[in-house]
Amino acid sequence: MGERIPTKIIDAAIARNTPASAGGPIHTRGFKGRYRRFRLLGTGLLFLLFFGTAWLNWDQRQAVLWDLVSRKFHIFGATFWPQDLILLSAILIIAAFGLFFITVVAGRIWCGYTCPQSVWTWIFMWAEKVTEGDRHQRIRLDAAPWSLDKLLRRGAKHAIWLAVSLITALTFIGYFAPIRELSSDLLTFNLGGQAAFWLFFFTAATYINAGWLREKVCRDMCPYGRFQSAMFDRDTLVIAYDAERGEQRGPRRKDSEPAALGLGDCIDCTLCVQVCPTGIDIRDGLQYECIACAACIDACDSIMDRMGYARGLISYTSERAQHGGQTRWLRPRLLGYGSVLALMIGLFVVALMERPLMSLDVTRDRTMFRENNAGQLENSYSLKVINKRQQPGHYQLRLDAPADLQLSAPVTLQLDAEDIRDIPLRVIWTGEQLPAARQRIRFVLTAMDDNSVPVVAESTFLAPVRR
C-alpha cells in the first residue's frame, strides 16, 4: 500500500497561516532548503559586518565612528568632515539606485535576504521556536490558559528578544560614540542620561519592530513595498506558483497518478502558507506583501521531492517566462538603471580621490573697512583652516590680489593631524589712490612639505566709494 502524504491538520487554526488577517500573530513553520541556507549565509555576513565592524581599531581609534560631538566621521583610514557632506549624501543616493537596479532584476529579494527588518525578524522567530516549540506548539500555547510552563516559556522568549535588542542598540549607538567606553559604562551602570535614553530607545525600537510588528512593517509601513511595482517589468524575477501545472489541487497517495485523478501537482498541503513570514498564499498570485524570501519555494520543493515530482511548482520566474517566453536579461530599463548606477559610482570614486585634504573658509569682518594707525585702508577677516589629513603639515598662506593689496603680516601654519585653526588677519591697501569700492581677492593656502594642490577661498575687499 502506497505512502500517503499528510496534507491536512485537524486543528483549523493550524491548517493555514491566517491568524494575522484577524489581527493575531503569524506562526511560521520550520523548514529546510537551499534558499534558507542562502539566507542564513546572508544573515551571518550581515551580523559579522554590523556587530564586528564596531569593534575594529584603526590607528589607535575606532575604525568606523561617526563622532557627532567633534563632527568627524571616521571610516577606516579616511576622515570626513561636515564640508564633505555631499560625499556622504552621494553614498545614500548610490545605495538607492543600487536597490532600484536589484529590484528590476529580482524584485524584493533585498527584503527577503538582507533587509535588517527581515533578518532581525527571522532571529526573533528562531527565539520563539527555541523557547515555545514549533508552529503547532506555539498556536496551542497561545490558546492555552496561563500556567507556570507558559509563563516560563514566554519569559524565556522575551528575555532573548530583549537581550538581542539590547546588543543591537548598543552596537548601533557604538557607531556614534566609542563602543568600548559605552560598553564599560553600561556594565558599570555609569551611563549618562543622553546615552541611556538612546540605548533605551533603540532597544525598544528593535524589540517592537522585530518582536511585535514584524510583517506589519513590511506590509503596512515600509514604502518600498508600495512603489516596487513601478519598477517591475515582465522580465523581473518574482516568486510565482505555476497554476497550469498545480491545478486542480488535492491530496493523493504518493504512488497515485495525478492525471488519472484529474489533479495537478499541488497536493494542497498549505506548507507554502505555513512557512510564509507575511502570511500570504503565493498560490493566489503575486502580492505586494511577498518579500521574496523563497521560504515557500523550499517548503514546496521538499513536498515535491517526497512525492517524486519535479521541483519548481513554486519558483523564481518572470511574467514573460510564465506565459511561455524567455526572460530577457538585457532590456532598456535594466540597462538604464545599470548605466546610471555605474556612472554615479565612477563619479563618486573620482570625487573621493580628488577630495581636498585641506579646507579653507574665510569670513570678512562685519565692519566694512577702516583706517589703521599708519593711515592705510584695511579689511579684517577670519579664516578657518582644517587639516583633514592623518598626519601634521606645514602650510603657508598668501594673498592673490592686485599688487597694492597685501597681508598685514606673513602667515605660516604648523597644523597637527585633523587640526582646526581659526586665524584672524588683515588685508591692507598700500597704494596712494583709493581702490575700487569692491575688489575680489583670493586666499591661497599651500602645503610646504608636499606637492598637493593649493586650497583657495575667495572674498571681497571693500573701500570707500570714489567721488
Q: Please spell the DSSP secondary structure of 189-219, one letter per residue.
A: T---HHHHHHHHHHHHHHHHIIIIITHHIII
Q: Could you please report the per-residue DSSP string of 101-159?
A: HHHHHHTTHHHHHT-HHHHHHHHHHHHHHHHH-SHHHHHHHHHSPP-HHHHHHHHHHHH
Are 281 and 233 spatial neighbours (Cβ–Cβ below 8 Å)? no
Please return the burial class of 426, using the count of CB atoms within 10 Å of its CB with bins 0-12, 13-18 and 19+: middle
Interatomic CA distance for residues 467 and 454, integer angstroms: 38
Contacts of 80 by beta carbon, 8 Å cutoff, 6+ apart: 72, 73, 74, 87, 88
Please answer whether residues 308 and 6 qualify as being in contact, where contact means their C-beta atoms are separated by less than 8 angstroms.
Answer: no
From the list 365, 360, 367, the residue with the least C-alpha distance to 383 is 360
Q: Which domains does the chain have, with CATH numbers?
A: 358-462 (2.60.40.10)
Which grid cell sits at 426?
588683515
Per-residue pLDDT of the chain (467 residues; tens, 9 = 90+): 344 444 444 343 444 454 444 457 899 999 999 999 999 998 899 999 999 999 999 988 899 999 988 888 999 888 888 888 888 889 999 999 999 999 999 999 999 999 999 999 999 999 999 999 999 999 999 999 999 999 999 999 999 999 999 999 999 999 999 999 999 999 999 999 999 999 999 999 999 999 999 999 988 898 887 787 788 899 999 999 999 999 999 999 988 888 888 999 999 999 999 999 999 999 999 888 999 999 999 999 999 999 999 999 999 999 999 988 999 988 998 999 999 999 999 999 999 888 888 889 999 988 788 888 888 899 999 999 998 888 899 999 999 998 899 999 999 999 998 889 999 999 999 888 888 888 999 999 998 887 778 999 999 999 988 76
Task: Report the candidate in 256, 200, 230 with the shortest Cα–Cα distance to residue 100.
Answer: 230
Report the distance separating Cα 72 and Cα 81, nearest Å: 5
* C-beta of residue 385 within 8 angstroms of C-beta of residue 359: yes
Q: Distance between CA 321 and CA 386 in Å, rounded?
A: 58
